[in-house]
Amino acid sequence: MISEAAKQLLIQIVGRENYDDSKAGRLVYSYDATPQFQAIPEAVMAPRNTKEVSEIVKVCAEYRIPIVPRGSGTNLCAGTCPIEGGIVLLFKHMNRILEIDEDNLTATVQPGVITLDLIKSVEEKGLFYPPDPSSMKISTIGGNINENSGGLRGLKYGVTRDYVLGLEAVLANGDVIRTGGKLAKDVAGYDLTRLLVGSEGTLGIITEATLKLVPMPEAKKTMLALYQDLEAAARSVSKIIASKIIPATLEFLDQPTLRVVEDYAQIGLPTDVKAVLLIEQDGAREVVEREMRQIERICKEEQAVSVQLARSEQEADALRTARRSALSALARLRPTTILEDATVPRSEIAKMVTAINEIAEKYRVMICTFGHAGDGNLHPTCPTDARDDEEMERVEAAFAEIFAKAIELGGTITGEHGVGAMKAPYLEWKLGKEGVEVMQAIKRALDPYNIMNPGKVFAKSTRKRVVVTK
């Protein structure tokens, strides 16, 4: 409960217009992109600068009020669902690109900057910010950093973590720290930047980030390889990489996903094949030409029934957009869409895809699979209906078995979506008891009153999803 005294202190910091405890205002921030999780916060606040964030945190620490930092709420792990109440903190006023430094190849931004806005702004200067989650039109840099998000370009360029050079963060006692900076090299003490990246708002609030940029690649080519055999597609992935080519993008869509995506995007994708690979390479023109020819040869050797090169940038863009719209397209099928991101070593992709199909059959649920094949990061997605308890039990059981299989194959429960409240019950499967205890010790040291996004990452005893309405 936020007492009247605490409320007045919080309003003094941000002004009445940036403190909303109306029922309607709170309801809007009671959920995120994760199905089946809802909890109403006690207030929603929008600070204007780091000083205000720090003052808010000090009041929250004194009154033990939970704080849930929130970008655009597109996370898929119930990471911004305020399951223990408290305040949802928005960054709509802290959304500026502060600097693009062409000498040091860095961009310094506030957390509320939309990912695509940053990508476009640096591209105008001939620079490149590679992390490109499919949600980039709406996701924020603060959210990307806290989930350590990946994207279509992750195989060659890495994920958000690989581009975070420095951070400004407000800790759970209100202290403001700066980590890293515009430095290419810095080994002064523990790497706190890396600790904060992917911490899901549980260790501190990011108020500024310095990001690495790279030069824009000279050329890019896009190709679609079609298969009548899932395993042949998976074998192509392994063989391309084993031949020492790292494509910029190597995405996989199975037939059910293809059909739904084509129905949604209407760009003429083939729907009579079992799987497609969307493959892109960028870099120096000659290298791109040569490597795309090699990739084409490998795909054909592995029984691709057709390999088509995009004839124009417009056509290539349509293919990328179609892939990025896979989740939205699947979401049209049934009232609830559960998307997971079990990840395996890329050599195990074929086994994992086969296992997902067998598990779907065993539990009589529909599972469509697409994902970042080159990263081993698959998105088995289940269109279902949360109102049907019996079906939901089967869906839960199917996903539990998918996670167990991923771990058995040397993989993980999440490759890029984070743990949040949704995957918390499975964290120990991946880390073991001792691994979870180390993380809990870090959490206790940095947030002794457990006010920073409580209820996330570390599991309560239940595995059930929560719907709390106050």
Ligand X SMILES: Cc1cc2nc3c(=O)[nH]c(=O)nc-3n(C[C@H](O)[C@H](O)[C@H](O)COP(=O)(O)OP(=O)(O)OC[C@H]3O[C@@H](n4cnc5c(N)ncnc54)[C@H](O)[C@@H]3O)c2cc1C
Residues that bind ligand X (CB under 6 A): 32-33, 68-76, 79-80, 91, 111, 133-135, 139-140, 142-144, 146-147, 149-151, 200-201, 205-206, 327-328, 416-417, 453
CB-based burial of residue 120 (10 Å sphere; 0-12 exposed, 13-18 middle, 19+ buried)?
exposed
Q: Which residues pair with 3 in a beta bridge?
A: none
Nearer residue to ligand X within complex by CB, 74 or 384: 74
**Do the Cβ atoms of 399 and 426 come closer than 8 Å?**
no
Q: CA–CA separation, 173 vs 114, rounded Å? A: 28
Nearer residue to ligand X within complex by CB, 222 or 453: 453
Nearer residue to ligand X within complex by CB, 59 or 197: 197
Give SS3 for 376. coil
How many C-alpha atoms does 112 have within 13 Å on its Cβ side? 15
Nearer residue to ligand X within complex by CB, 275 or 326: 326
The pair of structure tokens assigned to 444 is 């206790």
Q: Which residues pair with 221 in a beta bridge?
A: 281
Least distance (Å) between residue 242 CB and ligand X: 25
The pairing of beta strand 164-171 with beta strand 204-212? antiparallel
**Closest residue to ligand X, Cβ-based?**
143
Nearer residue to ligand X within complex by CB, 121 or 328: 328
Q: CA–CA separation, 117 vs 134, rounded Å? A: 14
Least distance (Å) between residue 148 CB and ligand X: 8
Least distance (Å) between residue 82 CB and ligand X: 10
Q: How far is CA 469 from the centre of its chain?
A: 27
**Do the Cβ atoms of 6 and 45 come closer than 8 Å?**
no
Least distance (Å) between residue 46 CB and ligand X: 12
Nearer residue to ligand X within complex by CB, 88 or 316: 88
Give SS3 for 339. strand
The pairing of beta strand 43-45 with beta strand 87-90? parallel
Least distance (Å) between residue 298 CB and ligand X: 25
Least distance (Å) between residue 210 CB and ligand X: 14
Least distance (Å) between residue 302 CB and ligand X: 26
Nearer residue to ligand X within complex by CB, 254 or 375: 375
Which residue has 């992109």 as its token pair?
33
